[in-house]
Amino acid sequence: MARAPHIVAALMLAAACAGCSILDPYDIVGRAHSAAPTIPDAYVPETDVALGREGRLRAFDFVWNTIERRYHDPSYNGVDWKAVGERYRPLALAAPDDEAFWDVLDRMTGELHDSHTRVESPLDAQLRRHDQAITIGISILPVEGKLAVATVDPRADAWWAGVRPGMTVLAIDGKPAARAYGELLAHTRQASTDRARHLAAMRRLVHRAPGSKVSFTFERADGTRLEATLERRRIDRPHVEAHRLLPSGFGYVRFSQWTIGLTLRALDGLDALRSAPGIVIDLRGNPGGSVHAVNLMLERFFREPTELGRATTRNGKPISMLAGTVDIIRLHRKLRGDPNAYRGPVAILVDSGSASGSELFAGTMQATGRAKVVGQPSCGCLLGFLGYAAVPGGAELAYSEVGFVLTNGRRIEGEGVIPDVEVPLSLHDLRLFRDRTLEAAEALLDRLAQEAPGAARKDAR
């Protein structure tokens, strides 16, 4: 889960004390005000060594020591963190260029099998700060034992080259797909789950210098082949919210990230759909965001005070600042209840791209019995961090400081949210542009609405 948004009043009070370990023991303010690396729009990874040996040592020690002191699990997920550091230090110093150096540091953090704990290179940090990404216009997922095109951006060159969902990948840059994919995985950092590691491998394939290209051989359903060379492009990542009343009569809400602003738009959408007999909340591909945004959404579904589970920290205490007077993350998660909360049945759609905040919301709604989950198992990436720390040399470090346990005792990290109704992806459905997951959710809501005592398909307010 990405960092929790800071409480404005707390920031104003603590800004002058950013370096004070008593008032701001987690360096929340210090991280929020760390200098952003400056990378030109036409950034190309360096080919020489700019950091130098001393610069690399400072960066390496900062990353290793910060995790050693502050990681949420003092057992480091069962990993010998000292031995990891001894193994990776010579690899980092021997890296052929700075981009490779940052990659080694990121792979070192990956030894924790934690997708949230990571090192972002100066380029990665710049892209994130500007809500940008590097893309080739398609997403690729394992489907029926093959690498398959799952989505194609109709604005991208891939679409105009003839690439369509449901095509399978036969070759990447001239190498058989299985071999190319195996090499990608071999050089990709470990992650919370195999699903998360696949996504990281695909980012590794795409995340190269803008303007560079990668070639593919695709196979269509009829066995014919398509050769396409796709350029890596730097694009803005849109923050999207959409809501509507489906032809079935159920409400539908989808949003792309758990930011406060976007979640407030989604809540407005929920208000507009309050008379629907059931609601679908589509979190497929939503990578998460703020725990406070998740709590805002949860409040709209519980009329009575409700226990939601608990948070865990390294020292067993809440995450707080100002000498413990302001809690940023409380250990006991609970809602007061809202008499006006929506009371109709809810179906939540998830897939392997549903991560972090999306998993906290879906898992909490499922564990409390307030919603059913439909789709494919989620990422399995649910830990919390409080902000990026500036690494000497221009990179940034995220490190997990909070764990989450649901009311049923489950931890989503490393497992994922397992749907109540699992709907596997199929090549056939991808080729037909058929959304079988949404169909299954509507069928489920129809049954639940009919079963509701005296409320069959009536106003759910």
Q: What is the mean pLDDT of residues 346-352?
A: 98
pLDDT for residue 50: 82
Report the side by side order of strands in the sheet with 421-422: 241-245, 251-255, 279-282, 346-350, 372-375, 421-422
Cβ partners under 8 Å of residue 424, min gap 6 = 376
**Cβ neighbours of residue 336 closer than 8 Å, sequence gap 6 or more:** 305
Asked if pLDDT for residue 217 goes beyond 70, the answer is: yes
Q: Give the largest CA-CA distance in the chain.
A: 73
Phi-psi region of 220 (alpha: psi -120 to 50; beta: other; left: phi over 0): beta
Q: Is the pLDDT of residue 454 over 70?
A: no
Cα(351)–Cα(355) distance, rounded to whole angstroms? 9
Q: Are 150 and 137 in contact (CB under 8 A)?
A: no
pLDDT at 336: 92
pLDDT exceeds 50 at position 201: yes
User: 227 - beta bridge partners?
Assistant: 217
How far are the Cα atoms of 2, 40, 123, 207, 458 from residue 134, in angstroms, in the given order? 20, 15, 11, 6, 46
**CA-wise closest residue to 126 among 62, 41, 208:** 41
pLDDT at 319: 82
Among 187-201, 275-289, 302-316, 326-340, which stretch is predicted with the lowest mean pLDDT?
326-340
More confident residue, 461 or 298: 298
Q: Is the pLDDT confidence value at 448 over 50? A: yes
Which pLDDT belongs to residue 28? 55
In which order are the strands placed within the sheet that holds 389-390? 118-120, 396-398, 389-390
Average pLDDT over residues 184-205: 97
Within 10 Å of residue 266's Cβ, how many Cβ atoms?
Answer: 23
Percent of the chain with pLDDT over 90: 82
> Could you give the CA distance from residue 202 to residue 213 in angstroms, rounded to a whole number?
14
Of the candidates 375, 377, 379, 378, the one whose C-alpha atom is nearest the C-alpha of residue 436 is 375
Say which residues have a Cβ less than 8 Å from residue 421's Cβ, sequence separation at least 6.
372, 373, 374, 375, 440, 441, 444
- In tens, the pLDDT along 32-70 reads 545 444 444 444 444 344 899 999 999 999 999 999 999
- In the chain the first and final C-alpha atoms are separated, in Å, by 31
Report whether 230 contacts 260 (CB < 8 A).
no
Q: How far is residue 101's CA from residue 52's CA, in Å, rounded to a whole number?
A: 11
Name the token pair of 127: 């892209």
Q: Which residue shows structure tokens 């949404």?
A: 438
Angle at 387 between CA 383 and CA 388, to 5 degrees: 110
- Residues above pLDDT 70, as percent of the chain: 86
Q: Is the pLDDT of residue 10 over 70?
A: no
Q: How far apart are CA 434 and CA 439, in angstroms?
A: 9
User: Strand, coil or helix: what is 421?
Assistant: strand
The predicted-structure confidence for 294-342, as pLDDT tens digits, reads as follows 999 999 999 999 999 999 999 999 887 665 556 678 899 999 999 999 9
Residue 417 has pLDDT above 90, yes or no: yes
Give dist(CA 217, CA 176) in Å, integer: 9
List Cα–Cα distances, 357 to 255, 258, 280, 354, 364, in angstroms. 12, 7, 17, 8, 10
| The pLDDT of residue 329 | 80
- Taking all residues of the chain, what is their mean pLDDT, rounded to a whole number? 89
What are φ and ψ of residue 361, in 5° steps? -65, -55
Q: Is the pLDDT of residue 459 over 70?
A: no
Query: At 139, is the pLDDT very low, low, confident or very high (cuts 50, 70, 90)?
Result: very high
Residue 388 scores a pLDDT above 90: yes
Name the token pair of 67.
């995790």
Q: Is the pLDDT of residue 282 over 80?
A: yes
pLDDT of res. 452: 77
pLDDT in tens, 77-124: 999 999 999 999 999 999 999 999 999 999 999 999 999 999 999 999
Reported confidence tier of residue 238, pLDDT bands at 50, 70, 90: confident
pLDDT score for 318: 87
Does residue 12 have a pLDDT over 60?
A: no
Q: Kindly tell me if the per-residue pLDDT of 172 is higher than 60.
A: yes
